[in-house]
Amino acid sequence: MPVNLNAPDSAALFAVPGVEIGCAMAGVRKAMRRDLTVFTLAQGSAVAGVFTSNRFCAAPVQLCRAHLGSDAAPRAILINTGNANAGTGQDGLDRARATCEALAALLGCSPAQVLPFSTGVIMESLPADRIIAGLPAALADCAPNHWAQAAEAIMTTDTLPKAASRQVQIGGRKVTITGISKGAGMIRPNMATMLGFVATDAVVAPALLHALVTHAADESFNRITIDGDTSTNDSFVLVATQQAGHAPITQFDTGDGALLRDAVVAVARQLAQAIVRDGEGATKFITVRIDGGRDEAECKQVAYAIAHSPLVKTAFFASDPNLGRILAAVGYAGIADLDQTTIDLFLDDVHVALHGGRHPGYREEDGQRVMKQSEITVRVDLHRGPASSTVWTCDLSYDYVKINADYRS
Amino acid sequence: MPVNLNAPDSAALFAVPGVEIGCAMAGVRKAMRRDLTVFTLAQGSAVAGVFTSNRFCAAPVQLCRAHLGSDAAPRAILINTGNANAGTGQDGLDRARATCEALAALLGCSPAQVLPFSTGVIMESLPADRIIAGLPAALADCAPNHWAQAAEAIMTTDTLPKAASRQVQIGGRKVTITGISKGAGMIRPNMATMLGFVATDAVVAPALLHALVTHAADESFNRITIDGDTSTNDSFVLVATQQAGHAPITQFDTGDGALLRDAVVAVARQLAQAIVRDGEGATKFITVRIDGGRDEAECKQVAYAIAHSPLVKTAFFASDPNLGRILAAVGYAGIADLDQTTIDLFLDDVHVALHGGRHPGYREEDGQRVMKQSEITVRVDLHRGPASSTVWTCDLSYDYVKINADYRS
């Protein structure tokens, strides 16, 4: 049951000039569902991406990195659900390459101009033949307004499709940013993977685009966690079709550059938070904010210790203000010189712990009131510096175990 | 339901000359249960301990470290269950100190000669008055053969008491090593904490004893994990009463020293594994062994990534040979230059993955057969060096969520 998340309204997803999307039923794992998605990108488009840090990264991730690192200008994105093509060795690379070659032949471009993505079961052989057979139907389906359909076609065990869209004015021109994502768990084990695709018609030099996608990931997908597992296939790509007709963006710090940056971050953040809201078994959406750290890295370290703790997460599920668990997680986050006597803990507006001990004015019923909400902010003040950081997570419920224990059977 | 664990047979727990143990009902949290335990140690005993790395360590841990670091020779161990005295600030320290002072007055020693331990609810005030009132009854109960009773008195939500005992011959003398532990979760949140107490009558210089307890912890308590949370109160202490009458042990590398070391490790390991077998909601006991690492540290890093992964743990619960989850955990363990194409994965005797991909001879029914067992060994060979490491863990079940979500209510 997703937390305050609705299926996207197709009419509110603006088309991005230069991008067309088509889907088809290829029977990758199940019959009669759209499991194959192709994005075609207008000539002159630039693409940048960030990928999983998992050393067991999947074949399509390896290939996608190589294609983006080559001189070839990307012309298409090819996504299948149902099979992650991970843990598949050389054979997996060969099969991913074969799908890129087939799409390139249909489009009249080189295979390096196709970026492949896969999500689904790990350690099973990719049915490249069925994917290749489905490509003509996907191309025939291509249209600018198929974002909602694609959001559904890339789902694995997500319970709802995830999409977001914005428009901003840059140099008197309307610029569109639209994206889709899928997730469910940070790794969706069998059905692995967080994927995010965002496209804009903004005019941005390819070199700058990489800085923008990295910044947007740091402010969105890199701040969420369901269960701490990192998928073999996690990928987030940003396409800029360069068709909006404004003067090229040359930096992201001020003016039009900052405007575009903020809009891309907003779309990426909405897509990332939607993944948490639809987290496996999630019943609550938790914001963990750490203030008063020496630097952002240590704030993030503490935030993730809290966000990953199964004990903290089960307490949220139970609406139990068992807040010693949060202090304990702060304590083992790995900050060697942490002084427990400077630490404050807040649950929304309730001041729970002062100087590392129970706040004298704290009443259990106040904690209880906040814990019953479906959206909760945990704030810890370390009082040792000026830095802050925020991450988003969900609770750990019976259903998390049920989903992950039962999934394959 | 503990995994292949039985309550200790009191007759098989050998008394340790120089140690007497008494328990009492102090009503710390619940009436009519033994919740207070005192060990008295003969004059001349040496004690060494290892404690939680959690920076939010509890008041008794802070005090215990200070007392062990002073010149005072320990004469007593004081343990209460029901309240962890953690997250309690200066008031918690004052209360822990008051209990040490009261026991010291009864024994005619200094407060620094008393080592305090607490386990139970976090962030609630220690009822020091009730503990102090219970001390005379605990002392009156003191006897050498109360190990089984103490194993029960230190329990929180453990379902079974945990004890182990061995005897070895050193220099023609019988030397005894007996110990008890409690755990349930690595942190038992409210009811926090892993505690281990082992005593021997061996003759070991105090300075050497610290090396022995550190080694024993590294081979036992530091190799187990239930949920990755580290308690504010985790403690493991080793007492040597020096009464066995053999020539003093001066090293642990060979001969009698190695004999003693191995016996202490065996007792500590049995106590540590018992904690995993009685892990919250555990239905399976999992050994994770990593071979072929460059050093032991990186092997342990990979082993813990597997042992902490909620996805791996739910797959074990479901008896689902969903082994890509294990490869994914290897991949995100944090070894930056890991080459996935050298990795082998075994499930007991079944060769699952070869060169980072599915082994051509692997059949799902073979994986399934092993996954159905109550004791399973996962072995990963990294093929990049000579080092190995092993950790023990359990699966993640509905009952883990149930226990941790329902506990306080």
Tens digit of each residue's pLDDT (9 = 90 or more) over A354-399: 998 889 999 989 999 999 999 999 999 999 999 999 999 988 887 7
Distances (CA, A) of A298 to A355, A382, A390, B56: 19, 10, 11, 16
Residues B213 and B271 in one domain: yes
Taking CA atoms, what residue in B is nearest to A125? B358
In B, residues 50-89, which contact A (CB 8 Å cutoff)?
Answer: 52-57, 84, 86-89
Residues B263 and B319 in one domain: no
Length of chain A: 409
Residues B96 and B63: their CA atoms lie apart, in Å, by: 8
Beta bridge partners of A240: A46, A200
Counts of helices then strands in chain A (DSSP H, E): 11, 16
Residues of A in contact with B58 (CB under 8 A): none
DSSP helix/strand/coil, A321: coil
* Interface test mutation site (partner B, options A95, A404, A407, max chain B beta carbons within 10 A): A404
In this structure, are residues A78 and A28 in contact, taking their beta carbons and an 8 Å threshold? Answer: no
Residues A224 and A364 in one domain: no
The DSSP result for B251-318, as a single string, is -SSSHHHHHHHHHHHHHHHHHHHHHHHT-TT---EEEEEEEEESSHHHHHHHHHHHHH-HHHHHHHHT
Q: Which amino acid is at B102?
A: A
Residues of B in contact with A95 (CB under 8 A): none
Residues B120 and B234 in one domain: yes
Among B370, B145, B123, B335, which Cα is nearest to A362's? B123
| Out of B232, B398, B402, closest to residue A331 by CB | B232
Place of tokens 């910044």: A215
**Encoded tokens for A47:** 């693409």
From first to last of its 409 residues, chain B has per-residue pLDDT tens of: 788 888 888 889 999 999 999 999 999 999 999 999 999 999 999 999 999 878 888 999 999 999 999 999 999 999 999 999 988 889 999 999 999 999 999 999 999 999 999 998 888 899 999 999 999 999 999 999 999 999 999 998 888 999 999 999 999 999 999 999 998 654 333 334 689 999 999 999 888 999 999 999 999 988 887 666 667 788 999 999 999 999 999 999 999 999 999 999 999 999 999 998 988 788 999 999 999 999 999 999 999 989 988 888 888 998 887 788 898 889 888 898 999 899 999 999 999 999 988 899 999 899 999 999 999 999 999 999 999 999 999 888 877 777 666 644 3
Dihedral sign (CA B106, B111, B113, B115)? positive
The conformational region for residue A348 under phi > 0 = left, psi -120 to 50 = alpha, else beta, is left
Q: How close is the nearest chain A Cα to the Cα of B143, in Å? A: 36
Residues A225 and A84 in one domain: yes
pLDDT at residue A191, as a whole number: 37
- B101 burial class (0-12, 13-18, 19+ CB within 10 angstroms)? middle
* CB–CB contacts below 8 A, A to B: 251
CB contact under 8 A, A324 and B57: no
β-pair type (A387-394, B344-347): unpaired
Taking CA atoms, what residue in A is nearest to B368? A409
β-pair type (B375-381, B285-293): parallel
Residues of B in contact with A351 (CB under 8 A): none
Give domain status of residue A5, yes or no. no
Strands (E), A58-122: 76-83, 114-121
**Domain finish residue from B277, B308, B327:** B277
From first to last of its 409 residues, chain A has per-residue pLDDT tens of: 788 888 888 889 999 999 999 999 999 999 999 999 999 999 999 999 999 888 888 999 999 999 999 999 999 999 999 999 988 889 999 999 999 999 999 999 999 999 999 998 888 899 999 999 999 999 999 999 999 999 999 998 888 999 999 999 999 999 999 999 998 654 333 334 689 999 999 999 888 999 999 999 999 988 887 666 667 788 999 999 999 999 999 999 999 999 999 999 999 999 999 998 988 788 999 999 999 999 999 999 999 989 988 888 888 988 887 778 898 889 888 898 999 899 999 999 999 999 988 899 999 899 999 999 999 999 999 999 999 999 999 888 877 777 766 644 3
Which residues contact residue B273 at a Cβ distance below 8 angstroms, ignoring those fewer than 6 apart? B220, B224, B285, B392
Residues A272 and A322 in one domain: no
Residues of B in contact with A86 (CB under 8 A): 324, 327-328
| Out of B54, B190, B330, closest to residue A332 by CB | B54
Q: Which of A193, A200, A241, A287 is catalytic?
A: A193
CATH number where A202 lies? 3.60.70.12
Residues B319 and B212 in one domain: no
CB contact under 8 A, A353 and B123: yes
Residues A376 and A352: their CA atoms lie apart, in Å, by: 14
Give domain status of residue B64, yes or no. yes
Helix axes A398-406, B310-317, angle to 10 degrees: 70
Residues B334 and B247 in one domain: no
**Encoded tokens for B114:** 């008393």
Give domain status of residue B184, yes or no. yes
Q: Name the residue range of residue B118's domain.
A: 10-277
Residues B259 and B152 in one domain: yes
Residues of A in contact with B90 (CB under 8 A): 357
**Residues of B tagged active-site:** 193
Taking CA atoms, what residue in A is nearest to B409? A320
* Interface test mutation site (partner B, options A314, A355, A363, max chain B beta carbons within 10 A): A314
**Domain finish residue from B223, B245, B277:** B277
Counts of helices then strands in chain B (DSSP H, E): 11, 16
Give domain status of residue B3, yes or no. no
Q: How close is the nearest chain A Cα to the Cα of B327, in Å? A: 7
The number of distinct structural domains making up chain A is 2
Residues B58 and B175 in one domain: yes
Residues of A in contact with B228 (CB under 8 A): 308-310
Q: What is the ipTM of this complex?
A: 0.71
CB contact under 8 A, B328 and A230: yes
Residues of B in contact with A227 (CB under 8 A): 309-311
| Out of B56, B228, B341, closest to residue A340 by CB | B56
Give domain status of residue A1, yes or no. no
* Interface test mutation site (partner B, options A52, A53, A56, max chain B beta carbons within 10 A): A56
Residues B343 and B327: their CA atoms lie apart, in Å, by: 9
In B, residues 329-368, which contact A (CB 8 Å cutoff)?
Answer: 329-333, 335-336, 338-341, 343, 353, 355-358
CB contact under 8 A, A87 and B405: no
Q: How close is the nearest chain B Cα to the Cα of A117, in Å? A: 17
Give domain status of residue A3, yes or no. no
β-pair type (A224-225, A387-394): parallel
CB contact under 8 A, A189 and B231: no
Q: How close is the nearest chain A Cα to the Cα of B326, in Å? A: 9
**Domain finish residue from A261, A277, A293:** A277
| Out of A89, A230, A314, closest to residue B355 by CB | A89
CB contact under 8 A, B310 and A229: yes
CATH number where A340 lies? 3.10.20.340
Residues B304 and B338 in one domain: yes
pLDDT at residue B382, as a whole number: 97
Give domain status of residue B190, yes or no. yes
Give domain status of residue B5, yes or no. no
* Interface test mutation site (partner A, options B53, B123, B363, B382, max chain A beta carbons within 10 A): B123
**Encoded tokens for B295:** 């050093």
B135 in contact with chain A, both atoms CB, cutoff 8 A: no
Residues of A in contact with B401 (CB under 8 A): 314, 317, 396-398, 400-401
Residues A143 and A236 in one domain: yes
